[in-house]
Amino acid sequence: MSVLVHADFTFIVQGITGREALNFTRECLEYGSKIVGGVTPGKGGRDVYGVPVYDTVREITQSKKVDGSVITVPLAFAPDAAFEAIDAGIKNIVIITEGIPRRDAAQIVEYADLHEVRVIGPNCLGIIVPDVCRFGSLGGPAVDCRKAFKPGCVGVMSRSGGMTTEICNALTASGLGVSTAISVGGDPVIGSTYSDLMPLFEKDEDTKAVVIYSEPGGASEAQLALWAKENNSRLPIVAFVAGRFMDDMPGMSFGHAGTVVERKVDSPADKIKRMRAAGITVAEEIGDIPGLVKERIGA
């Protein structure tokens, strides 16, 4: 089993002829992912590494099974691309495009919710089920991706795409491996938070624990702590909170656009306190994560 994607998962790439999309399309294909089409208006009839290009999403969904879409288009066109995918009946969307204004991102998320569509991102790198499917650009080149992501028992969620890979590499090196890794997105408004995704990991028989990487700002960790308190989850959670130095530097931004510390509740110290009170183990160092996971699962 896995979370959201599987061996037969098929997806398209919106903005497939862009430079970034060209690179990760090639790497996804090399990894073994099933990309059944791409969309760039005005460039229909071409192909990208054998993947046919269409002018609209609907042209693809009318004739092929499409489980998901990766959106990597210029900022101005990202909302329309998301609405187009939702209207075409696609149920899983990864939005790589970053910096989408909060109002536009909120409209995307609300429209997706109305149509029972799962959105990962914006400003994310997507999802990987090791040796099964890469849905997005997470992990970099396929050859490096295979080294860092090995099948295992730990689910990983992170606002940072780079740290997703770093943590998964540590879990792989420790022999634990990864069940599913999700780069949830670093923008202020994202489609799926940690607490939104936890029930999916809960249902996955291959997942025995979950690791999250947290940054200053936002309410995702408070929501996760509340979820952990209210649900008798079988899964132990291990977290790492970055930017602890910012407790003495309120008001400044750190890393992603979503990590602006606006209130005391957003501080790293407050996140740690809330999560520990909810039974979540908080690592002092990134390197401590594999050992803490092994302690929690009795490995």
Q: What's the mean pLDDT in 260-272? A: 67
In a domain, 114, yes or no: yes
Q: What is the mean pLDDT of residues 275-290?
A: 96
Instruction: Please check whether residue 5 lies inside any domain of the structure.
Output: no
pLDDT tens digits, 39-68: 999 999 999 999 999 999 999 999 999 999
Give the per-residue pLDDT at 101. 96
Which structural domain range is residue 167 located in?
10-297
Query: Is residue 176 included in any domain, yes or no?
Result: yes
User: For residue 215, what pLDDT is reported?
Assistant: 83
Q: Domains in the chain: how many in total?
A: 1
Region 184-198 average pLDDT: 96
User: What integer pLDDT is reported at residue 19 of this predicted model?
Assistant: 93
Q: What is the pLDDT of residue 265?
A: 52
Residue 266 confidence class, pLDDT cut points 50, 70, 90? low
Q: What pLDDT score does 239 carry?
A: 97
Q: What is the pLDDT of residues 207-261, one digit of tens each?
A: 999 999 988 778 899 999 999 999 989 999 999 998 765 555 555 555 554 444 4
* pLDDT tens-digit readout, 108-126: 999 999 999 999 999 999 9
Question: What mean pLDDT comes out for the span 192-207?
Answer: 97
Q: Does 236 map to a domain?
A: yes
> What CATH code is carried by the domain that includes residue 216?
3.40.50.261
Candidates 256, 257, 258, 292; catalytic one: 256
155 belongs to a structural domain: yes
* 6 a catalytic residue: no
pLDDT for 258: 45
Question: Who has greater pLDDT, 171 or 264?
Answer: 171
Instruction: Please report whether residue 2 resides in a domain.
Output: no
Q: What pLDDT is stored for residue 2 in this prediction?
A: 86
Q: Are 156 and 204 in contact (CB under 8 A)?
A: no
Q: What is the pLDDT of residue 219?
A: 86
Specify if 3 maps to a domain: no
